[in-house]
Structure 1
């Protein structure tokens, strides 16, 4: 089994969905690259994209169509000005053309070239899509891709998930591997992860990237608490992080994120206040995510608020939580995420919301325990506890939008992570009756048993309750 860098689990992304937005966006870029490598890009007359299964059923709500169009336009979701996305899409639709390279444009008609196959799924994965390029000479080039969660994209027969598949020095594909390697080398979990990350880059570069992730987390939360109004999509969901932040800080304004954090640290630290701030942190991120904002995918976009909320909680409300602890947190969270990626799934279309909020809560619980000085066994116990209480959670977004119940679930996932960490830190982990490996296995079995209508199709659960959705 290949090793996966933690920075493929925790990375810069764009909302609202890692599997339904980032994945199709990357797939479109992969298809252009395929044409480019075959010297066919400038011979293309038109490209049609067919979205199957879950990608079709929640595609418009998740912005899958927008992602494909932007991917075929050679835009990069890591650098695009997110405030200009709507403008770019309208320009392409009105002009009736897409520039697939610097010197070649092709005709584009939304109704003709973006197709939704609601009643059919491709065999390999519910999130399947097919790109078909018609060349000037009339010949066709076709390729299928699958968005398998967390922004990962594969072709059916490649067998690779990681962008750069290698085997690290001390591969860890389970809790047993993790603890065995830590015991053999006398290392903590974060130290072992740091050592394994040298398969991709130096320790200094790993630390720098982890701190870059932290900066992006802070900036994302700060953007979220400074924006008010309604979220896009027609559900008329009002942003709440702005109003709550205004209330708790009595209307104070801050020019930068450092001053804002300082004000929070200098404020009340009673349980009720801290609990409310955790919700603000999570809401701020996921309201950004719902608005095609730039967020940190950890491990998915629908669950992108959990880890930021927990790490910001630790930074603001626990003692001596500085850069070293932040690096430990991110390394450990990422490693736990790889265990779920390899042993189960991080795709809601495969496993329901337990594969998103459940996994992110598990990652955050273990990471917080590590950063606060917990033993490696307690880290695994915290991760197990958090997932144990998310087992069976369905993915049932109303209207296919990553808003209800998704946004609030991030706040719940963060609280559960902190509770799980507290329980593990105060427990004798040798008395634990379940392991992280056990709960990952059960989570996967639960995913296989779950009906498809509860897996990101908006056909069951809360999603089938009649709700008036206005035009976007």
Structure 2
């Protein structure tokens, strides 16, 4: 299994990994393909066609602006979120787009960017087609791209590849949780150590501990930024930011007013702060998606601030363990709400955070697996029904619930001996099957659930 920890945790921008980060990456790859084929300088026009969930909720998830930024050569991990509105405003005012930051081409959204409601590409609900034309209007190149969740993007050819000949050899390959537990039993390694050993062979980082601490720094900065901002979230729902007020209340709570559950207020704050930043298109870490970006930072912040003897090594163990669990879902089910509903986002993040917290609190591999299983078992069937297609209601509060569930799951697992009736592998398969059975209106299309039962104004 050649997935890297850095595949599960990507530094990017909000509001959506599949609808914002993925399309931006797809546009980047489209430019790279044009360059490789020698067509970039000949391209005088582009056309984008959005299908499925990208068409249905793309406006609310900033898919249109993400693709335009991507066509300009902007990348999710390097884009300055504060400058993005100005770049988009320039395109809309001038009717010109600087393709790859070089040649300027005509670009009018009504002509060149199409939301094809009711149509889908065959390989995944988050499909898009990007086309380039020369000065005479003849097509130079096109390809289909699929944003398959968590910022992962496949083109049409990659969806058809079945060969494993290019798989990087790693010392501890695993396909499921049973493999992980067996490797741990035979080697004496923890789940985090297994993944970190594999990481040395993937070539993604020359210092994975440094990169993991950078990921945590971005998460923590996002929490801090979210606690400092006030105002109304964009999009038309008029949702007021709450993190600032919650933070002030917690800071100023009288010391003589004892509340044994105050720590949960802090966890809620951490998650809300991150997801409010995500909702405004701020800098976040996809963990493993943007819609669920607050769960893991909130639980990791809980560890960092409230668990005695927390340290940098524990932060690395937390993220490595979480990534191992996320890899299992990525391989054997899905982390895309458009494919399996929000159980694939909040549910997966909750499972990852539960196992990770259990690990840093001294849990055995078996207890970690149990915590991850509990975290998902009680999110099975969770729908994705964002009001007005925005990652605000119910998404922001849903992150708080995922974080609190994860902490409870870890504590439950630590009270046991690791033996339990439902395995993590079984719950992952159940999640996959539940996603297949779920109606499309509950899979990030904003055509069911809260999205139609609550007036979006």
Q: Same fold (TM over 0.5)?
A: yes
Checking the alignment, whether the CA contact within 8 Å between 1:9 and 1:337 is kept in structure 2 is: yes
Deviation at 1:203, TM superposition (A): 8.6
Cα RMSD after superposing both structures: 2.0
Q: How many angstroms apart in 1 are the aligned matches of 2:229 and 2:87? A: 22
Deviation at 1:202, TM superposition (A): 9.0
Q: How many angstroms apart in 2 are the aligned matches of 1:138 and 1:79? A: 33
Q: Does 1:398 align with 2:387?
A: yes
Counterpart in the other structure of 1:446 = 434
Checking the alignment, whether the CA contact within 8 Å between 1:363 and 1:383 is kept in structure 2 is: yes
Structure 2 CA distance for partners of 1:463 and 1:267, relative to 1, 3 Å: farther
Q: Does 1:93 align with 2:92?
A: yes
Q: Does 1:57 align with 2:78?
A: no
Counterpart in the other structure of 1:263 = none
Counterpart in the other structure of 1:433 = 421
- 1:245-264 paired onto structure 2 within 5 Å: 245-250=247-252
Deviation at 1:166, TM superposition (A): 2.5
Q: Does 1:210 align with 2:198?
A: no
Counterpart in the other structure of 2:39 = 40
Checking the alignment, whether the CA contact within 8 Å between 2:321 and 2:359 is kept in structure 1 is: yes
Checking the alignment, whether the CA contact within 8 Å between 1:12 and 1:294 is kept in structure 2 is: yes
Deviation at 1:250, TM superposition (A): 2.5
- 1:74-85 paired onto structure 2 within 5 Å: 74-85=73-84
Checking the alignment, whether the CA contact within 8 Å between 1:55 and 1:127 is kept in structure 2 is: yes
| Superposition TM-score, scaled by structure 2 size | 0.96
- 1:343-362 paired onto structure 2 within 5 Å: 343-362=332-351
How many residue pairs get matched? 453
- 1:20-39 paired onto structure 2 within 5 Å: 20-39=19-38
* 73-82 vs 402-411, which moves further: 73-82
| Superimposed CA distance per residue, residues 76-110 of structure 1 (whole angstroms, 9 cap, x where no aligned partner) | 22122211211111111111111113431111001
Q: How many angstroms apart in 1 are the aligned matches of 2:296 and 2:101? A: 38
Structure 2 CA distance for partners of 1:61 and 1:440, relative to 1, 3 Å: same
* 127-136 vs 375-384, which moves further: 127-136
* 387-396 vs 312-321, which moves further: 312-321
Counterpart in the other structure of 1:369 = 358
| Unaligned ranges ≥5, structure 1 | 252-265
Deviation at 1:448, TM superposition (A): 0.4
Counterpart in the other structure of 1:10 = 9
Counterpart in the other structure of 1:386 = 375
| Unaligned ranges ≥5, structure 2 | none
* 102-111 vs 113-122, which moves further: 102-111
Checking the alignment, whether the CA contact within 8 Å between 2:354 and 2:407 is kept in structure 1 is: yes
Q: Does 1:462 align with 2:450?
A: yes
Q: How many angstroms apart in 2 are the aligned matches of 1:420 and 1:370? A: 12
Deviation at 1:167, TM superposition (A): 3.6
Q: How many angstroms apart in 1 are the aligned matches of 2:7 and 2:259? A: 36
Q: Does 1:220 align with 2:222?
A: yes
Structure 2 CA distance for partners of 1:267 and 1:124, relative to 1, 3 Å: farther
Deviation at 1:132, TM superposition (A): 1.0
Counterpart in the other structure of 2:290 = 301
Counterpart in the other structure of 1:197 = 199
